């Protein structure tokens, strides 16, 4: 684009029309299933503790009832939606903008749109069924495969992610052209291999669900009662893109507190900012979260899949660089 035309949208009108149509289909999908649409705050008091997610700080100044600079743009509506679930909302979904720092590339924009929903009484398998149904409604019928985390590592790298020595994981990363840090933990090596080597190979012919992630990557998911090495968590890939991340949700306030504190300890180790725990979420869990499964689906990437777009900018009116 020539100088002086940066004011123009990066998406063609046809793709904006397609985006609007897919959004309407999404709302009809949930309405037909009796799932309530909710709307939670963009500005929150406590950011996520996950070491891989960078929260954008917001300074609201004086007069808002909190300390200046003590607020953040949410990276997911998860915490607030779980508070609604604990208060008796029943099944809920949300379509919202979220913001994450240090994310920019072919499939990344610092501000993007998530579809996040929670289903009470659903197993992880039932939620995968529903995610597959929605993605196919939006992007067309596609073959679906489900593999465990161990199965996909065995298929793609001939490694057992739960038992392979660190040296083998380092060798696999080096063979793919990645030099891991000398003090890299097992979990860091596995995430590198999954994100940079295995993930881009998945979902080339359809939709690929990967489930049974290592317990160290459980985040807010329950551990598998049949295999404590694994979490009841899945991710969905299509066209080499990660589209969704789902959990059988952890309901224990004490275990969640321990995980948040462990995240902060790892943040200290890596020299990252350490954040206060979300006490409102922990209080909601303590009051009783119903048994539920939840998922976040990247809407922009789903639109890319549906329209054949190669870059996220092709499905956004104005990416952050033109905002």
Q: What tens digit of pLDDT does each residue of 127-137 get?
A: 999 999 999 99
Which of the two residues, 61 and 256, has the higher pLDDT score? 256
Burial 244-253 (b: 16+ CB within 10 A, else e): bbbbbbbbeb
CA–CA distance, 288 with 291 (Å, rounded to integer): 9
Average pLDDT, the chain: 93
Average pLDDT of 15-42? 98
Q: Is the pLDDT of residue 60 over 90?
A: no
- pLDDT-derived band at 61, boundaries 50, 70, 90: confident
CA–CA distance, 246 with 300 (Å, rounded to integer): 17
Average pLDDT of 247-263? 95
CA–CA distance, 56 with 296 (Å, rounded to integer): 19
The pLDDT of residue 68 is 56
2-6, 44-48, 62-66: the lowest-pLDDT one: 62-66
* Contact call for residues 128 and 147 (beta carbons, < 8 A): no
Average pLDDT of 86-91? 98
- pLDDT-derived band at 179, boundaries 50, 70, 90: confident
Burial 195-210 (b: 16+ CB within 10 A, else e): eebbbeebbeebbbbb
Element (H, E) at 15: helix 13-32
- pLDDT-derived band at 180, boundaries 50, 70, 90: confident
The pLDDT of residue 184 is 83
Q: Is the pLDDT of residue 70 over 90?
A: no
What digits encode the pLDDT tens for the residues 186-210?
988 999 999 999 999 999 999 999 9
Q: Which fold has domain 13-143+205-322?
A: BirA Bifunctional Protein; domain 2 (3.30.930)
CA–CA distance, 239 with 249 (Å, rounded to integer): 27
20-29, 40-49, 121-130, 134-143: the lowest-pLDDT one: 40-49
- pLDDT-derived band at 69, boundaries 50, 70, 90: low
- pLDDT-derived band at 302, boundaries 50, 70, 90: very high
What digits encode the pLDDT tens for the residues 207-254?
999 999 999 998 899 999 999 999 999 999 999 999 999 999 999 999
- pLDDT-derived band at 54, boundaries 50, 70, 90: confident
Q: What is the percentage of the chain residues whose pLDDT exceeds 70?
A: 97
Average pLDDT of 138-160? 97
The pLDDT of residue 65 is 59
Q: Is the pLDDT of residue 95 over 80?
A: yes
């Amino acid at each position: 684009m020539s100088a002086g035309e940066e004011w123009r949208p990066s998406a063609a009108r046809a793709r904006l029309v397609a985006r609007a149509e897919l959004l309407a289909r999404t709302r009809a999908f949930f309405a037909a299933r009796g799932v309530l649409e909710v709307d939670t705050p963009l500005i929150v008091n406590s950011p996520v503790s996950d070491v891989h997610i960078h929260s954008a700080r917001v300074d609201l100044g004086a007069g808002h009832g909190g300390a200046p600079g003590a607020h953040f743009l949410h990276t997911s509506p998860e915490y607030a939606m779980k508070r609604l679930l604990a208060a008796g909302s029943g099944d809920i979904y949300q379509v919202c903008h979220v913001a994450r720092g240090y994310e920019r590339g072919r499939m990344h924009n610092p501000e993007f749109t998530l579809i996040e929903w929670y289903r009470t009484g659903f197993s992880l398998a039932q939620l995968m069924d529903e995610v597959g149904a929605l993605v196919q409604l939006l992007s067309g019928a596609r073959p679906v495969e489900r593999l465990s985390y161990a199965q996909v590592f065995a298929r793609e790298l001939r490694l057992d992610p739960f038992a392979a020595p660190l040296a083998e994981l380092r060798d696999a990363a080096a063979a793919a052209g990645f030099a891991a840090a000398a003090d890299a933990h097992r979990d860091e090596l596995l995430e590198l291999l999954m994100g940079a080597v295995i993930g881009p190979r998945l979902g080339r012919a359809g939709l690929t669900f990967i489930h049974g992630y290592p317990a160290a990557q459980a985040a807010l998911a329950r551990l598998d009662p049949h295999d404590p090495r694994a979490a009841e968590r899945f991710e969905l890939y299509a066209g080499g893109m990660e589209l969704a991340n789902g959990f059988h949700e952890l309901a224990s306030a004490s275990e969640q507190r321990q995980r948040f504190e462990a995240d902060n300890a790892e943040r200290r180790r890596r020299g990252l900012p350490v954040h206060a725990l979300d006490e409102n979420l922990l209080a909601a869990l303590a009051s009783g979260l119903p048994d539920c499964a939840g998922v976040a689906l990247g809407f922009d990437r789903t639109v890319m899949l549906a329209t054949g777009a190669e870059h996220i900018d092709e499905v956004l009116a104005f990416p952050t660089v033109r905002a």
